[in-house]
């Protein structure tokens, strides 16, 4: 079973233009390798405070409860549902892609009842259907939806959906995994109640952390729960003793020190670029990519008004084999692009332009490599 | 609220001799900064397979289900309880320190009933009490205990406790966060059923991952559950689609790529040292530390036969102020040692000799620094 020896793993230098992880800025990779210090070290705690402020900037919020969960985006999702959904709660879940389905699973596992609003994959959530569901379920207390569907490349109107939810006395849980820093996301202005994201998309940090933010309305529900949060690890009340303890930080779990160095560095880079500039850069690179794809006769699957700049779902031309192309791109060009999820596997490519990957070098490289491989393929 | 700019965080070079994180081998820090590749990249999947084999070596097991959870040790604990405990299950929990209490919380949050076997903090779990509890609760199905209590420095007899549990038809859940690689831990030989650990103790890796291993008895209980695992993120059935998928790896969550590079490197280092050599090194450094502490008139609180070499609980002499000493060690000597948890806060120091920190340079430095500070303090 065991070999006589094992060697260090030396990964190649890929260009990551799939649905995430995206290319990581070398400044962030260097930050990861800085000396580990203790999770209760006063210098580390000072860094945590700065990190929370930087996250507030990134989320455009003044929410006190704004912190990175010590686990990937799926855990951030679970943190929102486990803290906000109590057994018996009725939750309206918008399903227009893979991650809506995961939200539904979370509701059920928290003992809640999920009311599903279906929309076609590749389209935005339809506010009219949501309003009908809210009207039909006056006892619903939460509306959950995905802002930017990573599985399809569709952007929904988080502001409009939240406005509707509030008219019907529902809180919102918003998946902002792929939207954060890639398209406008204004937590306070749009009054989003609970939002989770990931680090490996438009923040260009490594995967493994999940920034979340909860406003006072959401925290009131968490604090007035009748039952304990079913997850000890994700219980916000306990976590805040460490992240928000005034003066004294209570030990909850050992924070992932070095990944947090990386996230701090990623947010410093974003802060100095400026959020608006980051949004504009994603949009500009998307326009260039789209123009190049169209010159090659390729089409995007999402209607223009609902398209994410940072995740481009490209229709695979008839007769072209998905995995042959992606394997050639990976092995001959060190370029990773993604395939579709679920029904769209083999039918769509997902080309990410996220964070550090959203630059003209990557766009030109991707277009050339794809064109070369497609030409070889059709010969 | 926001500053005009933020700067990169540059932590000092500490010596970490608290209860964890421990000093990280520079080879591991370098590994963290290697280029990020995709979580479905064939090269990454090859690395995952090697990582699982290395974990099997480290746990001394052939268990198929052996993998690192993408979150800290507390999530590894929750993974064991959430998968194995069903609502109504009776679980006997041994409480001889802080982490037993956390196990109890986990049982309750999974809807189980916790039967507590109390032992004094700083002592091993008493097998006679455990047997009495097993006898008194013939409907119990799990025995949970901590192998190496990080909060007190006491080592329990995992083999004997598991033997008892099996006599009474109970599975065991074993906390090996601090024991793995620091003292003998033989999962197969001792027939431990479900075991979780952490990366930031005797593996000397960064915090943030939790290796777990489940044998076939444990997996049979997971697979025959009547109810869904309440956590989507920690559901082993879903996780195994990614970590164990034959041929095709199903996406579950985005693995924390770079931290996994670090863990792979840590396990390569351990494999080349050899587990037995690692155990011996921890023991030898402990003996030197103990001799030095005794020369200074300091005493260890745990009886010799139950003492962990890698976590030394030292009785703070009367008249000495805990935090003054620890602050001086940190600020003047860049040396971190821990204080006690719970009732022993301010009464005990916890001096860790874990992984890369268990070397003679650290032992001598710690003894000299502590002696100097104590002399200053008493003047």
pLDDT at A121: 96
A164 pLDDT higher than 80: yes
Q: Does the residue A5 lie in any domain?
A: no
Q: Beta B194-196 vs B210-214: how paired, if at all?
A: antiparallel
Task: Kindly state whether residues A250 and A327 are assigned to the same domain.
Answer: no
B4 pLDDT higher than 90: no
Whole-number Å distance between alpha carbons of A46 and B20? 19
Task: Kindly state whether residues B99 and B240 are assigned to the same domain.
Answer: yes
Task: Kindly state whether residues A250 and A279 are assigned to the same domain.
Answer: no
Q: Does the residue B187 lie in any domain?
A: yes
> Across the interface, do A12 and B200 touch by the CB < 8 Å criterion?
no
Task: Kindly state whether residues B220 and B120 are assigned to the same domain.
Answer: yes
Interface test with A, best of B13, B28, B38, B351 (most A CBs within 10 A): B38
Mean pLDDT of chain B: 96
Task: Kindly state whether residues A156 and A67 are assigned to the same domain.
Answer: yes
B1 pLDDT higher than 80: no
Q: Does the residue B3 lie in any domain?
A: no
Residues 6+ apart with CB under 8 A from B212: B65, B66, B67, B68, B69, B76, B79, B80, B194, B195, B196, B197
CATH code for the domain of A304:
3.90.1150.10
- Using an 8 Å CB-CB cutoff, list chain B residues near A20: 254
B129 pLDDT higher than 90: yes
Q: Is A154 on the interface with B (CB under 8 A)?
A: no
Whole-number Å distance between alpha carbons of A337 and A349? 7
Task: Kindly state whether residues A115 and A184 are assigned to the same domain.
Answer: yes
Write out the E strands in chain B.
15-16, 65-69, 90-95, 113-118, 142-146, 148-149, 154-155, 171-175, 194-196, 210-214, 311-315, 335-336, 338-339, 348-352
Interval B212-245: pLDDT, tens = 999 999 999 999 999 999 999 999 999 998 888 6
Interval A286-323: pLDDT, tens = 999 999 999 999 999 999 999 999 999 999 999 999 99
Q: Does the residue A10 lie in any domain?
A: no
Q: Residue B38: which of A73, A110, A336 has the nearest Cβ?
A: A336
A1 pLDDT higher than 70: no
Whole-number Å distance between alpha carbons of A4 and A19? 37
Task: Kindly state whether residues B188 and B69 are assigned to the same domain.
Answer: yes
B23-27, B249-253, B278-282, B372-376: which range is least confident on average? B249-253
Interval A69-103: pLDDT, tens = 999 999 999 999 999 999 999 999 999 999 999 99
pLDDT at B245: 66
CA distances (Å), B272 to each of A19, A47, B75, in order?
A: 37, 36, 29
**What percent of chain A is modeled with pLDDT above 70?**
99
pLDDT at A311: 98
A246 pLDDT higher than 70: no
Which residues in chain B (220-239) have CB-CB distances under 8 A to chain A? 228-233
Buried/exposed B216-234: b ≥16 CB within 10 Å, e otherwise = eebbebbeeeeeebbbbbb
Q: What is the residue range of A75's domain?
A: 26-271
Band (pLDDT 50/70/90 cuts) for residue A229 is very high
Is A235 within 8 Å of A85 (Cβ atoms)? no
pLDDT at B256: 97
Q: Residue A232: which of B7, B39, B102 has the nearest Cβ?
A: B102
Interval B13-45: pLDDT, tens = 999 999 999 999 999 999 999 999 999 999 999
pLDDT at A47: 97
Interval A20-45: pLDDT, tens = 999 999 999 999 999 999 999 999 99
Q: Beta A148-149 vs A142-146: how paired, if at all?
A: unpaired
- Using an 8 Å CB-CB cutoff, list chain B residues near A257: 21, 206-208
Whole-number Å distance between alpha carbons of B189 and A73? 37
Q: Does the residue A311 lie in any domain?
A: yes
Q: How many structural domains does chain A have?
A: 2
The whole-angstrom distance between A288's CA and the closest CA on chain B is 24
Q: What is the token pair recorded at B294?
A: 């005794």
For the residues A259-273, what does the mean pLDDT come to?
98
> Across the interface, do B253 and A72 touch by the CB < 8 Å criterion?
yes
Whole-number Å distance between alpha carbons of A325 and B65? 33
The whole-angstrom distance between B5's CA and the closest CA on chain A is 7
Is B300 within 8 Å of B85 (Cβ atoms)? no
Task: Kindly state whether residues B227 and B95 are assigned to the same domain.
Answer: yes
A169: which DSSP letter? T
Q: Give the helix ranges, DSSP H, for chain A.
A: 26-32, 42-59, 73-84, 98-109, 127-136, 158-167, 216-223, 236-243, 257-273, 275-295, 322-333, 360-378
pTM: 0.97
- Provide the 10 A C-beta neighbour count for residue A109: 22
Residues 6+ apart with CB under 8 A from A36: A257, A258, B11, B16, B21, B23, B24, B29, B206, B207
B102 pLDDT higher than 90: yes
Task: Kindly state whether residues A296 and A334 are assigned to the same domain.
Answer: yes
Task: Kindly state whether residues B247 and B326 are assigned to the same domain.
Answer: no
| ipTM value for the complex | 0.97
CATH code for the domain of B176:
3.40.640.10
Interval B39-90: pLDDT, tens = 999 999 999 999 999 999 999 999 999 999 999 999 999 999 999 999 999 9
Q: Does the residue B211 lie in any domain?
A: yes
Of A240, A271, A302, the position where a domain reaches its end is A271
Is B119 within 8 Å of B303 (Cβ atoms)? no
Of A236, A271, A306, the position where a domain reaches its end is A271
Is B106 within 8 Å of A232 (Cβ atoms)? yes
**Peptide bond just before A274 cis, omega within 30 deg:** no
Q: Is B345 on the interface with A (CB under 8 A)?
A: no
Q: Is B24 on the interface with A (CB under 8 A)?
A: yes
pLDDT at A125: 98
> Across the interface, do B13 and A27 touch by the CB < 8 Å criterion?
no
The single residue listed with the structure tokens 């962990």 is B308
- Using an 8 Å CB-CB cutoff, list chain A residues near B345: none
pLDDT at B379: 61
**What percent of chain B is modeled with pLDDT above 70?**
99
pLDDT at A245: 66
A248 pLDDT higher than 80: no
Whole-number Å distance between alpha carbons of A361 and A352? 14
**What percent of chain A is modeled with pLDDT above 90?**
94
Q: Three-state SS for B177? A: coil
Task: Kindly state whether residues B108 and B169 are assigned to the same domain.
Answer: yes
Interval B325-362: pLDDT, tens = 999 999 999 999 999 998 899 999 999 999 999 999 99
Interface test with B, best of A27, A29, A32, A69 (most B CBs within 10 A): A32
Is B203 within 8 Å of B270 (Cβ atoms)? yes
Q: Does the residue B331 lie in any domain?
A: yes
Task: Kindly state whether residues B196 and B330 are assigned to the same domain.
Answer: no
- Provide the 10 A C-beta neighbour count for residue A220: 11
Q: Does the residue B2 lie in any domain?
A: no
A138 pLDDT higher than 70: yes
- Provide the 10 A C-beta neighbour count for residue B364: 13
B184 pLDDT higher than 90: yes
> Across the interface, do A2 and B57 touch by the CB < 8 Å criterion?
yes
Of A271, A289, A314, the position where a domain reaches its end is A271
């Amino acid at each position: 079973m065991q070999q006589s020896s094992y060697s260090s793993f030396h990964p190649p230098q890929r260009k990551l233009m799939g649905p995430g992880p995206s290319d990581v800025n070398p400044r962030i990779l260097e930050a990861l390798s800085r000396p580990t210090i203790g999770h209760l070290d006063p210098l580390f705690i000072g860094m945590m405070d700065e990190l929370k402020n930087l996250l507030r900037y990134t989320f455009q919020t003044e929410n006190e409860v704004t912190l990175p969960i010590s686990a990937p985006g799926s855990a951030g999702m679970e943190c929102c549902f486990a803290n906000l959904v109590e057994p018996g709660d009725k939750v309206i879940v918008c399903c227009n892609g893979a991650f809506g389905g995961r939200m539904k699973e979370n509701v059920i596992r928290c003992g809640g009842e999920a009311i599903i609003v279906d929309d076609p994959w590749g389209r935005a959530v339809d506010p009219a259907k949501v309003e009908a569901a809210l009207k039909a379920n006056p006892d619903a207390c939460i509306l959950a939806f995905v802002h930017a569907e990573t599985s399809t490349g569709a952007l929904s109107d988080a502001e409009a959906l939240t406005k509707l939810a509030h008219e019907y006395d529902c809180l919102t849980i918003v998946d902002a995994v792929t939207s954060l820093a890639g398209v406008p996301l204004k937590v306070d202005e749009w009054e989003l109640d609970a939002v989770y994201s990931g680090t490996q998309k438009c923040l260009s940090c490594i995967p493994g952390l999940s920034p979340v933010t909860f406003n006072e309305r959401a925290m009131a529900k968490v604090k007035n729960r009748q039952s304990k949060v079913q997850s000890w690890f994700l219980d916000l009340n306990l976590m805040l003793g460490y992240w928000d303890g005034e003066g004294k930080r209570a030990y909850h779990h050992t924070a992932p020190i070095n990944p947090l160095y990386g996230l701090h560095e990623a947010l410093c880079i974003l802060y100095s670029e400026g959020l608006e500039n980051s949004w504009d850069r994603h949009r500009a690179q998307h326009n260039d990519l789209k123009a190049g794809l169209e010159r090659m006769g390729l089409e995007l699957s999402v209607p223009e008004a609902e398209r994410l700049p940072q995740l481009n779902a490209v229709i695979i031309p008839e007769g072209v084999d998905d995995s042959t192309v992606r394997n050639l791109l990976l092995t001959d060009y060190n370029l990773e692009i993604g395939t579709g999820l679920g029904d769209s596997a083999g039918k769509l490519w997902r080309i990410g332009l996220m964070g550090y990957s959203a630059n003209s070098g990557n766009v030109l490289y991707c277009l050339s490599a794809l064109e070369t491989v497609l030409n070889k393929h059709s010969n």
